[in-house]
Amino acid sequence: MNNEQYKGQNILVVFPHPDDEAFAAAGTLARYIEGGAHVTYACLTLGEMGRNMGIPPFANRVTLPAIRKQELLDSVAAIGIQDLRMLGFHDKMVEFEDQQLLDKTLQALLNEIQPKLVITFYPGYSVHPDHDATGRAVIRVISALPAAQRPVVHCVAFSNDHEQAIGKANIIVDVTEVIHKKMSSIQAHRSQFQAEELVGKQELGNQQLLARFGKEPFWIYPLA
Ligand SMILES: [Zn+2]
């Protein structure tokens, strides 16, 4: 991958939860941004229904939304994302949201930003119902655009069966050179880590760290 592939152009990222960006695309986004791309991250919810409250717990049901919002801001800063939109949909409810409202919101964003590239979840192969519903909405809205106006869509997939169904990733981004930014983004989501992961991370050597987090795969969505 060439860092400057999207130099001077806009990239739109659409995920439902704070921390989706950290694991799925932080390194790739950091590389594109270093290469001169402008990234808008539309995060659909604040992850306010999350069960993790930090270890030891420092959040509760009441304080979690504000805490996750701050974590998201910290993560976005670590990656270098220039434009964050918190869209205010409800965590764990994306599949039940008013489809018209969701579509209109995404249409308006696409209209405004005119991205060359959109990054989202691969509908059907992204494990969480919110992930699949988000990907489905993005694909639905982009498919409705005239062919000449459609951005390229790179999807993140990680369900157990995904390779059988959609084959191997089309793009595997090596994020070694920006791994520090990716780890800062992941670690910004303090309330979401399990103790084991946190401890594991501190003990991971550089090689293990890169083996676990050093590559980010994407599938080019076949728009009809
Ligand atoms: Zn998620």
Per-residue pLDDT of the chain (224 residues; tens, 9 = 90+): 899 999 999 999 999 999 999 999 999 999 999 999 999 999 999 999 988 898 888 999 999 999 999 999 999 999 999 999 999 999 999 999 999 999 999 999 999 999 999 999 999 999 999 999 999 999 999 999 999 999 999 999 999 999 999 999 999 999 999 999 999 999 999 998 764 555 455 566 778 888 889 999 999 999 98
Cα 128 to averaged position of ligand 1 atoms, centre (Å) = 7
Cα(92)–Cα(134) distance, integer angstroms: 11
Q: pLDDT value at position 195?
A: 47
Cα(130)–Cα(14) distance, integer angstroms: 12
Q: What is the DSSP string of 123-185?
A: TTSSSSHHHHHHHHHHHHHHHTS-GGGPPEEEEE---TTHHHHH-S-SEEEE-GGGHHHHHHH
Q: How far apart are the first and last CA of the chain?
A: 25
Cα(118)–Cα(14) distance, integer angstroms: 8
Cα 148 to averaged position of ligand 1 atoms, centre (Å) = 31
Cα 91 to averaged position of ligand 1 atoms, centre (Å) = 9
Cα 92 to averaged position of ligand 1 atoms, centre (Å) = 9
Output the six-digit token pair for 87.
Answer: 């869209």
Cα 18 to averaged position of ligand 1 atoms, centre (Å) = 7
Cα 130 to averaged position of ligand 1 atoms, centre (Å) = 7
The pTM (predicted TM-score) of the whole model is 0.95
Cα(7)–Cα(145) distance, integer angstroms: 24
Q: Three-state DSSP class for 222?
A: coil
Output the six-digit token pair for 140.
Answer: 């639905």
Torsion (CA) 98, 85, 179, 22 in degrees, nearest 10: -30
- Determine if the peptide bond prior to 56 is cis (ω within 30°): yes
Cα 151 to averaged position of ligand 1 atoms, centre (Å) = 23
